[in-house]
Amino acid sequence: MDLQEETKQNLRRLIERLKTLDVQSVISYWINSEIEEAEMYNFLASIVREYSWDTRVEKLFLELAHESLDHAEALLREYRRLYPGSPLRRVELPSIEVEFSKTELEEKIRSGRLEDVILALIESEKFARDTYRYLEQHSPRDLKKLFHDLARIEEGHYTRLKNLLEGLQHK
């Protein structure tokens, strides 16, 4: 099974499990996931810097890392507003990014298979977008706008990665 298909299956299982969580746990989960996503994009940017001559890839990965931290901050502000003084809940679900092996992604970049990495990242962003849309529809009224805005931003990530892939393919 290739990385893209395996990623799709793992993400489908994750979303089913996320649907069973309460709002406080979901927000806790996404705060940590956004931080881990930022770490992953920073890691990938450093590998791409070393093995790719196309600066567009590194630049986009660094932008996405920064935006993921912004998402985590927005979610944390909302969490603190809703649950003042309450620590983040520990959620026993793997992060989306845990579904990607850094070693495998790094190996794909080193072997010139950058397109495979970008395809997997596209699936991850699509999953995040779809999850935020689901949360928007199934959350209390005061959280709907937050999840709507986050879904829109993830859609932007998805589109930018897709455009990058198309640009690399037509190079």
- CATH of residue 35's domain is 1.20.1260.10
Domain assignment present for 23: yes
113 φ, ψ (degrees, to nearest 5): -105, 50
Report the share of the chain in percent with pLDDT over 70. 90
pLDDT tens digit string along 72-94?
999 999 899 999 999 999 998 87
Condensed to tens digits (0 to 9), the pLDDT of residues 106-148 reads: 888 888 888 888 988 888 888 888 888 887 888 778 778 888 9
Closest CA to 150 of 58, 37, 50, 39: 37
Q: Is 120 helix (H, G, I), strand (E, B) or coil?
A: helix
Buried b vs exposed e over 20-34: b needs ≥16 C-beta within 10 Å? Answer: eeeeebbbbbbbbbb
- State both tokens at 119: 């395809």
* Number of domains observed in the structure of the chain: 1
14 belongs to a structural domain = yes
Q: Report if residue 94 sits inside a domain.
A: no
Residue 140, number of CB atoms within 10 A of its CB: 8
- pTM comes to 0.83
Domain that residue 53 falls in: 3-89+99-169
In a domain, 104, yes or no: yes
Give a yes or no: residue 161 inside a domain: yes
